[in-house]
Amino acid sequence: MADETPRETTAAEVDDLLARAAAASRPWADRGAGARVVSLRAVADVLDGAADTLVPLAMEEAHLGSARLVGELGRTTFQLRLFAELLEEGSYLRATIDHPDPDWPPAPRPDLRRMLIPLGPVVVFAASNFPFAFSVAGGDTAAALAAGCPVVLKAHPGHLRLSALTGSLVDRALASTGAPEGTFAVIYGDAAGRSAVTSEHVKAGAFTGSLKGGRALFDLAASRPTPIPFYAEMGSLNPVFVTGEALAQRGGQILADFATSFTLSAGQFCTKPGLLFVPSDAVTDAELTEAMAPHRSGSPLLNERIHRGYVETLGALRGHGAVRTVVGDDDAYAAAPTPTVMATTVPELLAAHHDLLVECFGPTALVVEYADEGELLEAAEAFGGEITAVVHGEETDTIVPRLVALLSERAGRVVWNGWPTGVSVTEAMHHGGPYPATTAPLHTSVGTASIDRFLRPVCYQSMPGHLLPPALRDDNPLGVPRRVNGQPEEA
């Protein structure tokens, strides 16, 4: 399997796989959370066990380093196991019970019990930049399977053989734990992906990638005769704002960490800090050059398409009259491009807004000088939807509260004195943000809350106990946390 590049899935094959996914919907949901826990852990175990085959193949196809990929595979199987824990805990169901109340205004309240149920088959589009954690068995797949939804995974062309191998391992683990046939499938080719988004069998879509690709699929999903939710996590500029005080206290460390963060995995993260705002004349070219010294070697990018996009966008930025290149080799456009640091000022940035506030996916960042706090705030207001925004400041900085407030209106995650790369998979994580960071500002694609995307509420009115799902029965046989009559239920 690992030796052969899979061919594109034909239209007839896609139809067949989607029909099987639809047929698997009820049995996969009906097996219950307990059975899904076993299946998710089995997938994690099988992937961990195959690390020696998976990691070298990912290195070959995605041009990423071994340590990074070993860590990413660890994150992937951790995610699967974290969703298993979430299912065991049960609060994700949002089980809510209102007992009958004859005095409820304006009319007596019947017995009402609500919980979340799976939406149905989900099509997941794998990302280029996370061949494990946002690919075949990545976060979206784990969340959808955990929710009780079958998954049809559209493989990313950047790592097709890895996708096929991972897919076969997932299939094997699911089958060995009794998951219904059709619960999971991998499809190949853009036409197959579009066909899945428009299929009546598919009830939701998830995507990680470019603004252009994500928006096109979102439009397809929204314009169906029966529209479906389409959760696209797309581009982000991830601006970083450094106060004068922070720079005075620890400027060298900030620049060194900035250089590490934006060059990590050749700058190919959704959360790469793309802009660094610093006070005018506070950072010299020599300091930037020194900070970049450990990161000057080139790395091949994930794939040819990303490389072409990088060269084109970087060229436009460097060629822009408002931009000056501070660090940038002749190799900046080579097959293994070396990192580039550019510089501009806030007035120039704002004047050339549409040209300069663009994501350049790869090892480059723009340092932007602000003359005063007014310019700093004006710059912060120029951002629309960001996955992250960062403030480096001191607690005594008087500008910081206003800056943090402005940024929380514009970003999904606001980071204090840290760096946005290195997204922790937890309950409180939010990896999303207003458009264009995502098409769905209410939702995250990282962390356990990402399961919400694939569940919808159903309410049962006056239903006898034996007809209710176990989570809503009086005796609460699953021990699920619930709210009863507006209060958390006593255990």
Q: Is the four-CA dihedral 344, 349, 354, 359 of positive or negative sign?
A: positive
Task: Based on the shown chain and the rule CB under 8 A, indicate whether residue 456 belongs to the binding site for its own copies.
Answer: yes
Task: Based on the shown chain and the rule CB under 8 A, indicate whether residue 467 belongs to the binding site for its own copies.
Answer: yes
- 233 bridge partner residues: 208, 438
Gap between the Cα atoms of 166 and 169, Å rounded: 5
* Span of 260-268, 281-289, 345-353, 453-461 interacting with its own copies by CB under 8 A: 453-461
Helices 11-30, 190-197: axis angle to 10 degrees equals: 50
- 113 bridge partner residues: 97, 460
- Shorter beta-carbon distance to its own copies: residue 1 or 442: 442
- Shorter beta-carbon distance to its own copies: residue 87 or 449: 449
Gap between the Cα atoms of 467 and 151, Å rounded: 28
Task: Based on the shown chain and the rule CB under 8 A, indicate whether residue 449 belongs to the binding site for its own copies.
Answer: yes
For 401, the 3-state DSSP assignment is helix
Q: Which of positions 91-110 make contact with its own copies (CB under 8 A)?
A: 91, 96-98, 104-107, 109-110
Query: Can you tell me which of 67, 354, 466, 475 binds its own copies, judged by CB under 8 A?
Result: 466
* Span of 12-20, 242-250, 297-305, 438-446 interacting with its own copies by CB under 8 A: 438-446
Gap between the Cα atoms of 412 and 206, Å rounded: 18
Task: Based on the shown chain and the rule CB under 8 A, indicate whether residue 417 belongs to the binding site for its own copies.
Answer: yes
* Span of 140-148, 283-291, 334-342, 463-471 interacting with its own copies by CB under 8 A: 463-471
Q: Which of positions 178-207 make contact with its own copies (CB under 8 A)?
A: 203
Q: Which of positions 370-389 make contact with its own copies (CB under 8 A)?
A: 384-385
Task: Based on the shown chain and the rule CB under 8 A, indicate whether residue 405 belongs to the binding site for its own copies.
Answer: yes
Residue 239 near residue 277 (C-beta atoms within 8 A): yes
- Shorter beta-carbon distance to its own copies: residue 334 or 405: 405
Query: Can you tell me which of 343, 413, 445, 471 binds its own copies, judged by CB under 8 A?
Result: 413
Task: Based on the shown chain and the rule CB under 8 A, indicate whether residue 474 belongs to the binding site for its own copies.
Answer: no
Task: Based on the shown chain and the rule CB under 8 A, indicate whether residue 464 belongs to the binding site for its own copies.
Answer: yes
Query: Can you tell me which of 121, 157, 180, 229 binds its own copies, judged by CB under 8 A?
Result: 229
Task: Based on the shown chain and the rule CB under 8 A, indicate whether residue 415 belongs to the binding site for its own copies.
Answer: yes
Gap between the Cα atoms of 322 and 346, Å rounded: 10
Between strands 364-370 and 340-345, the pairing is parallel
DSSP 250-272: HHHHHHHHHHHHHHGGGG-STT-
The residues annotated with a catalytic role in the active site are: 233, 270
Q: What is the 3-state secondary structure (H, E, C) of 97-146?
A: EECCECCCCCCCECCEEEEEEECCCEEEECCCCCCCCCCCCCHHHHHHHH
In angstroms, what is the minimal distance from the CB of 358 to its own copies? Answer: 15
Task: Based on the shown chain and the rule CB under 8 A, indicate whether residue 356 belongs to the binding site for its own copies.
Answer: no
